Amino acid sequence: MKRIDKIYNYILKNSKNFNKDKFLDQKGFSAQEIGEKLDILRNNVSKELNILCREKKIIKIKNRPVMYFDRSCLENILSIKLPEDLEEILDVNILLSSPSNAFTENKSPFNYLIGANTSLKNQIEQAKAALMYPPNGLHTLIIGGTGVGKSLFANIMYEYSKYIKRLSKDAPFVVFNCADYANNPQLLLSYIFGHIKGSFIGAAKETDGIVSRADGGILLLDEIHRLPHEAQEIVFHFMDTGTYNKLGETGSTRRASILLIGSTTEDPNSTLLNTFIRKIPITITIPSFDERPIDDQIELIHYLLSNEAQRVNKTIKISAESIEALIRSTSYGNVGQLKLNIQLACGKGFLNCINTDECIDINLNLFPSNIKNKILTFSAKGKVNVTECDTIPNTITIQPDGDKTFLETDDYKPHFNIYNIVEDKTSALHEEGMSDDYIKDFITTDINIHLKQFYARLKNDTNRREVLLKIVNKDIVEFVEEIKALAESRLNRKLNERFIYAVSLHFSALFNRIKKRKVSFSSHIELQLSVNNKEYDVATEIHQLTQKRYNMTIPAIEVDSLSLLLASIQESSHQERVGIVVASHGSSAATSMVAVARKLFDVDNILAVDIPLEMTPSDILQTVIEKVKIVDEGKGVLLLVDMGSLNNLSDVINEHTNINTKSLDMVSTQLVLEAVRACSLYNTNLNTVYSYLINGFRGYANNIITEY
């Protein structure tokens, strides 16, 4: 007999023994119980149960834990007929008191929101009114602090619009963050409304904007307070008339039917035009975590822990003291901050039981002092009073079963892991026929970018080592600190804190992979640096010390990984790079290209010069010279210009400043991006970059192999 048949037979046989009272008392059978009775792994039981639900043989009952019951037996016991498409029941009490409501309103996307009947009840009623208002709904503004769930709420409004059939099933939902181009109104309007060919320098072809893509659906303008007044007026005209023109277009009026939702953390009266605000009649304020009732707070913690249980495929148990500490320590960051604190605690708890079948036990010892101490004092607001404390259960146990919910929309992003970067991207680049030298350069740049992104997340924390110790074993951190001192001595240069963070996280992930036997010891990757390279020699020594310290065999690729890491992370005073100045005629062409490069690569060694057509040659020269002086770090400056006349500036600048300068004309966004990438490589000089760009770079399209 197949496993799924065994499971179904168990549920069917035992469901027949239930009457109404027994069902209301027990609600059914959990995956854990079924697994123990049939000697089947609980994860496999859960998989088969989900299939049986989809086949409409059993029904899922939202409970803690989730319960399952035979569908036909339930109908007989309660004398009801379940809808054919129903797979789960959210509330058995509603099912008994008002069956019709249990099958209609409870299927609404809003009912999946935590707080739907408490802290978000009024907000949901406002949203429903806005969406159902004839003929096409009312434009809406969502207000709330960082991390309260504004984007999530907008997403639920979109799902509800489809649920009530106000929108079609394939209607678009487009999200645009107004902060991305807030300092460049021209580019921002181009992204929103599109542009025609030649409307500005670099506009090589006509392009549709997000308004066109959102036609027939909903457009979410996130951080709408960052819209410049000029853009607000144009968006206001669109909301008022439903018509718009692409940037640079005259005499042509386009139409789009869109429901606009804006979200902001700011007071709209101080950031948005009065005419703009008046065109948005519905304002919905999402409460902060502090303002939510204790039951909502506990349910949010339960849900976030459930996510972590699914990710690590382990049961999680959390104490009442830990729940209270999490509640008290969640302030400015709201649910986003709560999520981070939970992930850090689960990460540390996971390491404690990584090689066992034990559950993740979250207690106060897993939290840093700034969270742990919150349980000892009451805040000025008195977040959790004595009565509320009584509602917190002694422990909560979460199985990795997984329930459908709309709480999260972001993807889980694991911590920095250099091994994954080298392993995964090397394979992909090898398949594209790239040389080892090219791969080595590419990965070095990629590591730099990943490090900057990771370090940026820690830079505002007052105690960064404490943050690191939340997720990495103390012994590993101390060992990496010893390695850092050794490397500084061998290389005769200082390494900054990024080395400790990156290598500690990397080692922690690597050791776990080795223990789980997920590391290849026969890798085809060949990225070794020169035998005479100092970083490679030091990496070899570290590799040997690590094997001895932890008594394990570590793949040889680690020498290459550590070599790249040592070459990539240096004290900022020693990280001299080639500077870049982009100069182009027009009001914002150069600024636009530089903004894209800064966003993608997170660099500060590039500046823009926008040159009005009426600007005199002498003024142009003086302006460019000032930018060259600012961006020069001692390794020269690369000028990227749009016209041949500007191409002659490099010789004059060399004479005036004694700064080595070279220039390339016919600048494009692709050229700017590749220049930034090339200048980010360790030990790159101006001549090498210039020679590569003028002789070797032919655009990104040439690197793509298309099969027909």
Query: What is the pLDDT averaged over residues 435-459?
Result: 58
Query: What is the pLDDT averaged over residues 646-660?
Result: 84
* Residue 706's pLDDT band (cuts 50, 70, 90): very low
3-12, 162-171, 567-576, 623-632 — which one is most confidently predicted on average? 3-12
Predicted confidence (pLDDT) per residue in 202-215, tens digit = 667 888 889 999 99
HEC-encoded secondary structure of 555-615: CCHHHHHHHHHHHHCCCHHHCCCCEEEEEEECCCHHHHHHHHHHHHHCCCCEEEEEECCCC
> In the predicted model, is pLDDT for residue 257 greater than 60?
yes
CB contact set of 430 (below 8 Å; sequence gap of 6+):
439, 524
Query: What is the pLDDT averaged over residues 580-602?
Result: 81
Instruction: Please state, in angstroms and rounded to a whole number, the distance separating the CA atoms of residues 65 and 47.
Output: 16
The confidence score (pLDDT) of residue 382 equals 44
Which tokens sit at 428?
A: 């992909």
Instruction: Please state, in angstroms and rounded to a whole number, the distance separating the CA atoms of residues 420 and 414.
Output: 11
Query: What is the pLDDT averaged over residues 349-366?
Result: 76
* Residue 559's pLDDT band (cuts 50, 70, 90): confident
Which tokens sit at 83?
A: 């809808």
Query: What is the pLDDT averaged over residues 222-229?
Result: 87
- The more confidently predicted of residues 402 and 364 is 364
Distance of CA 247 to the CA centre of its chain: 31
The confidence score (pLDDT) of residue 466 equals 59
> In the predicted model, is pLDDT for residue 427 greater than 50?
yes
The confidence score (pLDDT) of residue 218 equals 95
Query: What is the pLDDT averaged over residues 184-199?
Result: 82
The confidence score (pLDDT) of residue 473 equals 77
- The more confidently predicted of residues 430 and 402 is 430
**In order of start, what are the domains of the chain with their CATH numbers?**
3-107 (no CATH), 121-285 (3.40.50.300), 294-398 (no CATH), 418-572 (1.10.1790.10), 576-703 (3.40.50.510)
> In the predicted model, is pLDDT for residue 494 greater than 70?
yes
Predicted confidence (pLDDT) per residue in 52-91, tens digit = 988 889 998 876 678 899 999 998 888 888 877 777 776 6
* Residue 390's pLDDT band (cuts 50, 70, 90): low
Q: Where are the beta strands (DSSP E) in 236-313?
A: 243-244, 254-255, 259-264, 282-285
Which tokens sit at 604?
A: 């500060």
The confidence score (pLDDT) of residue 285 equals 93
Predicted confidence (pLDDT) per residue in 688-704, tens digit = 888 888 876 655 443 33
The confidence score (pLDDT) of residue 634 equals 80
Q: Is the dihedral of CA 487, 491, 495, 498 positive or negative?
A: negative
Query: What is the pLDDT averaged over residues 334-355?
Result: 76
Query: What is the pLDDT averaged over residues 331-357?
Result: 74
The confidence score (pLDDT) of residue 95 equals 63
* Residue 411's pLDDT band (cuts 50, 70, 90): very low
Query: What is the pLDDT averaged over residues 606-633?
Result: 86
The confidence score (pLDDT) of residue 105 equals 42
Range 242-262 burial, b when 16+ CB lie within 10 A, else e: eebbbbbbeeeebebebbbbb
Is beta strand 316-319 parallel, antiparallel or unpaired with respect to 173-177?
unpaired
- The more confidently predicted of residues 551 and 701 is 551
Mean pLDDT of the chain: 77
Range name among 88-97, 328-337, 633-642, 695-704 with the lowest pLDDT average? 695-704
Beta bridge partners of 175: 220
What number of residues does the chain have?
708
The confidence score (pLDDT) of residue 582 equals 93
> In the predicted model, is pLDDT for residue 96 greater than 70?
no
> In the predicted model, is pLDDT for residue 406 greater than 50?
no
The confidence score (pLDDT) of residue 599 equals 66
The confidence score (pLDDT) of residue 516 equals 64
The confidence score (pLDDT) of residue 700 equals 47
Query: What is the pLDDT averaged over residues 100-121?
Result: 73
> In the predicted model, is pLDDT for residue 503 greater than 50?
yes
Query: What is the pLDDT averaged over residues 33-60?
Result: 86
User: Percent of the chain, pLDDT > 70?
Assistant: 74
Helix, strand, or coil (residue 20): helix
Query: What is the pLDDT averaged over residues 263-283?
Result: 84
